[in-house]
């Protein structure tokens, strides 16, 4: 008998793809071969195989693959939701003839006589009629049958028991592994960042159709937080809606609640519907905490609620969750006035500045609520403490103060403008604050004026600071003003400026002025970095980041972490650790300044470690570069180009007016190296006013190469990479082997210890000019990288941290580290970054 036509979903699938629900998935991604093999094994003899799974898990795809692999006639049919009451419809669609529709034995015989030794495929058995269900056991005695059954379903309990009793195999479709889901997202949305890919995989929860839908959304430019099915294929929403319709009302409500909450919750919050969700496999319950198997499915479930149901559920949840969440649920329910009161009350008892800012900003943004001036001022102050000056300006817009901005709001607005790098506008914002204002406001006004003056007239600012000390006392009682005076002394490098900033930060912290404390700590880190005191700067940044983490001040915390990594990258130590941590940080949602420093740190470490293409790609992908980090990113781009053998891109003129002494000096040093490599007779080797001693020593050594050894010593405790460059220059510019070889050998040793692969290569090439060939470790003969080692090292080269590599490949972190160490051994690499670079070179 010829093969019968396949069912519509399978026929609609393009060649080389698999059907998942009603979407198309590239071949090889799904379904798992183990499941197919188990089903094939169960079909050696007549019998009934059931493929069960939740919406979107790929049951239809399994049936299609089994049909394609079967050697014989295949009869494909299935149930239809709108025609679930038509007797024998799934079987009639399969064999394409009218069948007896009154007695199960006659129906079974009619189907058996047509299928015989073929394969009967029935999709969506949850929509089958009772007659079909009754006939299946009898048909299975003589024929091979595979059916798909969605869970949950509305089959009566006795029907499911009879089906289980008749089945020779009951197979559940497992979740799609993280590595397969990641590969699928990258194929459908190739421009998605690693952070977006990881978030999509997490939200999909192993449901292939959710992976496809979310990946398409990302490919079309949709943001992760957008409506799940906005403008996309409605297949998953339809599948979820059908599944939820087969649940009891309490279970549907519980699933929607998980979608609205967006997080796991204790079982008591979900009520009686939780048991049914766990039984159907839609929810996992661990130690009394319930979580949806697929968060995206829960989001879609919440989206199926009409406006009234959604508002009612939000109101109910508001009574079950902490006040911080309750305010948002009340706002979502349209109860703006109640949400306002809850948010303001909760903010008063918030334990962290981050929580306080979030609650008060919510209160200020509620529609139709008359926000009190005191609440706006409190929200602005909390936002500044949390590192959110933009939010401060938003809640203090002039339109909210029809009678004129009051002095307290004016100084907060000026502070926010100052934090955003607009000192002129900041001074203008506080111009109208009178001299008879309260002491707190007056101190804040003088702080802003003083810091604005510092950017235009440092000498005048120092004089003004001394005048303010006579008015406000030495030290001023106002923590912010004390910090500003310390900043002026630091900016002009007065003796003891380090102690002044550190003590100002400590005093502000003790006085409860989180903004002044964090701002002073940040200025301390920046000034130490500018003076090339990188170890001290890194230590100060680490301590400040830890303090911010405890107060949930995420914006400040990430800024300090990025600064610490930047210092570590400049020092040239722990390159692998810098690449790992900076890459992980750069993949997060960050303030612009933190992102700039994190990208600079990761790119410089990658370039030093030999990953030149990834480093330059990371720099080129960065958009909206913050002005304060612009000189840093500009120099790293030039340095990466020089390391990559493109000196022409490192010698272009640059505006270094805003660069710190260290960055400006490094730019000049890189330009001198690039000019040397390009054979240029002249270059910018001039010394800027206030040049740092090691920078000055390095640039002067280009005129007298015998001074490079002394210049290297000047960098010894500061930056390993610059010490190596000086030693390299000492050897390259000398023709006499007795003078050239010793510094080159020292450069080789230091570069190898630190993992500075590119500089190490230059040192060894210079040594070969003097007929010195060092014994270097190469790859072991006959020791080829395994496919898994290649995969791991390729992800390392892409900047992926260990935890995300483990998630993408579906292995443990320990296994990832084992593969990295094995790859390092086989490739003869000292660091993971070097191993990744060698692997990428080998793989092409």
C-alpha span between 12 and 225 (Å, rounded): 31
Asked whether residue 315 carries a pLDDT value surpassing 90, the answer given is yes
- Under the banding of pLDDT at 50, 70 and 90, the label for residue 339 is very high
Q: Nearest 10 degrees: CA dihedral of 368, 374, 375, 378?
A: 150
Nearest to 76 by CA among 133, 120, 139: 120
- Under the banding of pLDDT at 50, 70 and 90, the label for residue 154 is confident
105-112 long-range Cβ contacts below 8 angstroms, 24+ apart? 105/135, 105/138, 107/131, 107/132, 107/135, 108/135, 108/138, 108/139, 111/135, 111/139, 111/143, 112/138, 112/139, 112/142, 112/143
Percent of the chain with pLDDT over 90: 35
Asked whether residue 28 carries a pLDDT value surpassing 80, the answer given is no
Say if residues 154 and 126 touch (Cβ distance below 8 Å): yes
C-alpha span between 630 and 648 (Å, rounded): 20
Query: Strand pairing of 74-78 and 47-53?
Result: unpaired
C-alpha span between 825 and 820 (Å, rounded): 9
User: What is the rounded average pLDDT of the residues 517-521?
Assistant: 91
User: For 363-419, how does the pLDDT look when each residue is reduced to its tens digit (9 = 90+)?
Assistant: 999 999 999 999 999 999 999 999 899 999 999 998 888 877 788 999 999 999 988
Say if residues 232 and 188 touch (Cβ distance below 8 Å): no
Q: Which residues pair with 26 in a beta bridge?
A: 17
Q: What angle do CA 493, 499, 500 make, to 5 degrees?
A: 70
Asked whether residue 286 carries a pLDDT value surpassing 80, the answer given is yes
Which residues, 6 or more positions from 734, have their beta carbon under 8 angstroms from its beta carbon? Answer: 705, 740, 743
User: What is the rounded average pLDDT of the residues 62-75?
Assistant: 91
User: What is the rounded average pLDDT of the residues 790-817?
Assistant: 70
C-alpha span between 202 and 263 (Å, rounded): 12
- The lowest-confidence range among 93-102, 130-139, 517-526, 574-583 is 574-583
Query: Strand pairing of 283-286 and 265-266?
Result: unpaired
Say if residues 363 and 343 touch (Cβ distance below 8 Å): yes
- Under the banding of pLDDT at 50, 70 and 90, the label for residue 1 is very low
Alpha helices (H) in 684-801, listed in sequence order: 693-701, 708-715, 720-732, 737-754, 757-769, 787-797
- Under the banding of pLDDT at 50, 70 and 90, the label for residue 30 is low
Say if residues 54 and 99 touch (Cβ distance below 8 Å): no
CB atoms within 10 A of CB 831: 22
Asked whether residue 645 carries a pLDDT value surpassing 80, the answer given is yes
Query: Strand pairing of 119-123 and 74-78?
Result: parallel
Asked whether residue 232 carries a pLDDT value surpassing 50, the answer given is no
C-alpha span between 82 and 79 (Å, rounded): 9
Output the pLDDT for position 627. Answer: 74
CB atoms within 10 A of CB 190: 10
User: For 213-225, how does the pLDDT look when each residue is reduced to its tens digit (9 = 90+)?
Assistant: 788 777 766 554 4
Percent of the chain with pLDDT over 70: 87
Say if residues 201 and 182 touch (Cβ distance below 8 Å): yes
Helix (H) or strand (E) holding 260: helix 249-261
Asked whether residue 230 carries a pLDDT value surpassing 50, the answer given is no
Output the pLDDT for position 636. Answer: 92
Write out the DSSP string of 122-162.
Answer: EE-GGG--HHHHHHHHHHHTTSEEEEEEESS----HHHHHH
Output the pLDDT for position 293. Answer: 82
Cis peptide before 277 (omega within 30 of 0): no
Cis peptide before 376 (omega within 30 of 0): no
- Under the banding of pLDDT at 50, 70 and 90, the label for residue 576 is confident
3-state per-residue secondary structure call for 465-525: HHHHHHHHCCCCCCHHHHHHHHHHHHHCCCCCHHHHHHHHHHHHHHCCCHHHHHHHHHHHH
Output the pLDDT for position 239. Answer: 67
C-alpha span between 670 and 192 (Å, rounded): 33
Output the pLDDT for position 709. Answer: 92
Query: Strand pairing of 119-123 and 167-172?
Result: unpaired
32-36 long-range Cβ contacts below 8 angstroms, 24+ apart? 32/174, 32/177, 35/62, 35/171, 35/173, 35/174, 36/62, 36/65, 36/66, 36/69
CB atoms within 10 A of CB 101: 16
pTM of the complete model: 0.69
User: For 694-717, how does the pLDDT look when each residue is reduced to its tens digit (9 = 90+)?
Assistant: 999 999 998 888 899 999 999 998
Say if residues 566 and 600 touch (Cβ distance below 8 Å): yes
- Under the banding of pLDDT at 50, 70 and 90, the label for residue 657 is low
Say if residues 239 and 56 touch (Cβ distance below 8 Å): yes
The encoded tokens of residue 829 equal 């690499």
Look-up: residue for tokens 């995206």?
296
Say if residues 110 and 100 touch (Cβ distance below 8 Å): yes
User: For 729-738, how does the pLDDT look when each residue is reduced to its tens digit (9 = 90+)?
Assistant: 999 888 888 8
Asked whether residue 106 carries a pLDDT value surpassing 90, the answer given is yes
User: What is the rounded average pLDDT of the residues 658-666?
Assistant: 86
Q: How far apart are the first and last CA of the chain?
A: 52
Say if residues 48 and 121 touch (Cβ distance below 8 Å): no
Output the pLDDT for position 228. Answer: 44
Asked whether residue 227 carries a pLDDT value surpassing 90, the answer given is no
Which residues, 6 or more positions from 769, have their beta carbon under 8 angstroms from its beta carbon? Answer: none
C-alpha span between 665 and 688 (Å, rounded): 8
Say if residues 747 and 734 touch (Cβ distance below 8 Å): no
User: For 430-466, how does the pLDDT look when each residue is reduced to its tens digit (9 = 90+)?
Assistant: 998 988 889 899 999 999 999 999 888 888 888 988 8
Output the pLDDT for position 372. Answer: 93
Largest pairwise CA distance in the chain: 107
- The lowest-confidence range among 8-17, 612-621, 622-631, 807-816 is 8-17
Helical packing angle, 33-42 and 59-69, nearest 10°: 60
Asked whether residue 251 carries a pLDDT value surpassing 50, the answer given is yes
Asked whether residue 489 carries a pLDDT value surpassing 80, the answer given is yes
- The lowest-confidence range among 27-31, 180-184, 673-677, 678-682 is 27-31
- Under the banding of pLDDT at 50, 70 and 90, the label for residue 471 is confident
Is the torsion defined by CA of 340, 345, 348, 352 positive or negative?
negative
C-alpha span between 601 and 683 (Å, rounded): 27
Which residues, 6 or more positions from 181, have their beta carbon under 8 angstroms from its beta carbon? Answer: 201, 204, 206, 208, 211
Output the pLDDT for position 793. Answer: 78
Helix (H) or strand (E) holding 832: helix 832-843
Output the pLDDT for position 93. Answer: 92
- Under the banding of pLDDT at 50, 70 and 90, the label for residue 7 is very low
- Under the banding of pLDDT at 50, 70 and 90, the label for residue 73 is very high
Residue 168 CA to chain centroid, in angstroms?
A: 45
For the chain, the average pLDDT equals 83
Nearest to 202 by CA among 767, 803, 618: 803
> Where does 523-608 show beta strands of DSSP type E?
none
Nearest to 164 by CA among 178, 147, 183: 147
Output the pLDDT for position 736. Answer: 86
Say if residues 84 and 129 touch (Cβ distance below 8 Å): yes
Is the torsion defined by CA of 739, 743, 749, 752 positive or negative?
negative
Which residues, 6 or more positions from 243, have their beta carbon under 8 angstroms from its beta carbon? Answer: 54, 55, 150, 151, 152, 282
C-alpha span between 479 and 485 (Å, rounded): 10
Q: Which residues pair with 529 in a beta bridge?
A: none
């Amino acid at each position: 008998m010829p093969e019968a036509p396949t069912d519509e979903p399978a026929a609609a699938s393009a060649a080389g793809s698999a059907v998942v629900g009603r979407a198309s998935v590239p071949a090889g991604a799904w379904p798992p071969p183990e499941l197919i093999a188990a089903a094939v094994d169960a079909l050696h003899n007549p019998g009934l195989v059931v493929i069960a799974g939740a919406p979107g898990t790929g049951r239809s795809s399994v049936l299609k693959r089994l049909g394609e692999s079967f050697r014989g006639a295949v009869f494909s049919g299935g149930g239809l939701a709108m025609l679930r009451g038509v007797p024998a419809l799934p079987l009639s669609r399969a064999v394409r003839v009218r069948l007896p529709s009154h007695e199960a034995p006659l129906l079974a015989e009619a189907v058996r006589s047509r299928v015989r030794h073929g394969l009967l495929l029935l999709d969506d058995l949850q929509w089958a009629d009772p007659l079909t269900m009754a006939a299946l056991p009898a048909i299975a005695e003589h024929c091979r049958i595979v059916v798909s059954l969605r869970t949950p379903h509305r089959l009566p309990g006795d029907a499911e028991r009879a089906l289980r009793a008749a089945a020779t195999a009951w197979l559940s479709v497992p979740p799609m592994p993280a590595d397969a889901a990641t590969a699928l997202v990258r194929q459908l949305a190739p421009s998605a960042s690693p952070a977006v890919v990881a978030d999509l995989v997490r939200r999909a929860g192993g449901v292939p159709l959710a992976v496809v839908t979310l990946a398409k959304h990302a490919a079309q430019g949709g943001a992760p937080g957008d409506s799940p099915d906005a403008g996309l294929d409605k297949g998953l929403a339809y599948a979820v809606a059908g599944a939820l319709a087969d649940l009891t009302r309490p279970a549907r409500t519980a699933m929607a609640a998980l979608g609205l909450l967006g997080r796991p919750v204790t079982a008591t919050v979900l009520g009686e519907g939780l048991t049914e969700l766990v039984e159907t496999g839609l929810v996992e319950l661990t130690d009394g905490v319930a979580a949806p198997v697929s968060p995206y499915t829960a989001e879609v479930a919440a989206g199926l609620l009409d406006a009234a149901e959604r508002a009612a559920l939000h109101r109910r949840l508001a009574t079950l969750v902490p006040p911080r969440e309750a305010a948002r649920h009340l706002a979502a329910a349209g109860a703006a006035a109640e949400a306002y009161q809850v948010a303001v009350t909760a903010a008063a008892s918030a334990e962290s500045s981050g929580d306080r800012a979030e609650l008060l900003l919510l209160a200020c943004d509620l529609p139709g609520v008359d926000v009190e001036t005191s609440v706006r001022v409190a929200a602005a102050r909390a936002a500044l403490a949390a590192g959110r000056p933009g939010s401060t300006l938003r809640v203090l817009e002039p339109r909210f103060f029809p009678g004129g901005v009051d002095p307290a709001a004016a100084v907060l607005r000026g502070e926010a403008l100052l934090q955003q790098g607009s000192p002129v506008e900041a001074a203008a914002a506080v111009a109208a604050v009178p001299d008879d204002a309260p002491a707190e406001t007056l101190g804040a006004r003088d702080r802003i004026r003083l810091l604005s003056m510092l950017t235009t007239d440092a000498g005048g600012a120092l004089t003004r600071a001394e005048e303010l000390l006579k008015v406000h006392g030495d030290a001023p009682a106002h923590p912010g003003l004390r910090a500003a005076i310390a900043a002026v002394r630091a900016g002009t490098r007065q003796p003891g400026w380090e102690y002044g900033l550190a003590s100002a930060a400590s005093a502000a912290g003790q006085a409860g002025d989180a903004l002044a404390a964090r701002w002073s700590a940040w200025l301390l880190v920046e000034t130490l970095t500018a003076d090339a005191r990188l170890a001290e700067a890194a230590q100060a940044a680490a301590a400040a980041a830890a303090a911010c983490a405890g107060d949930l001040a995420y914006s400040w915390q990430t800024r300090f972490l990025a600064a610490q990594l930047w210092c570590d990258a400049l020092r040239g130590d722990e390159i692998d650790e810098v690449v790992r941590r900076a890459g992980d940080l750069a993949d997060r949602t960050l303030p612009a300044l933190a992102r700039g420093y994190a990208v600079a740190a990761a790119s410089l470490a990658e370039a030093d470690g030999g990953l030149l293409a990834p480093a330059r790609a990371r720099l080129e992908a960065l958009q909206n570069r913050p002005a304060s980090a612009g000189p840093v990113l500009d120099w790293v781009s030039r340095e990466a180009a020089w390391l990559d053998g493109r000196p022409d891109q490192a010698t272009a003129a640059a505006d270094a007016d805003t660069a710190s002494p260290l960055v400006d000096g490094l730019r000049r040093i890189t330009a001198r190296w690039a000019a040397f490599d390009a054979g240029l007779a002249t270059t910018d080797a001039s010394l800027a006013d206030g040049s740092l001693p090691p920078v000055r020593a390095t640039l002067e050594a280009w005129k007298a190469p015998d001074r490079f050894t002394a210049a290297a010593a000047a960098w010894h405790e500061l930056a390993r990479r610059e010490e190596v460059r000086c030693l390299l220059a000492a050897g390259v510019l000398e023709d006499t082997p007795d003078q050239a070889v010793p510094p080159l050998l020292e450069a080789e040793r230091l570069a190898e210890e630190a993992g500075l692969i590119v500089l190490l290569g230059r040192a060894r090439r210079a040594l070969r000019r003097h007929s010195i060939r060092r014994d270097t470790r190469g790859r072991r003969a006959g020791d080829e990288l395994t496919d898994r080692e290649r995969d791991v090292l390729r992800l390392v080269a892409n900047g992926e941290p260990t935890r995300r590599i483990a998630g993408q490949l579906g292995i443990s972190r320990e296994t990832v580290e084992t593969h990295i160490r094995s790859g390092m051994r086989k490739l003869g690499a000292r660091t993971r970054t070097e191993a990744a670079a060698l692997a990428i070179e080998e793989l092409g």
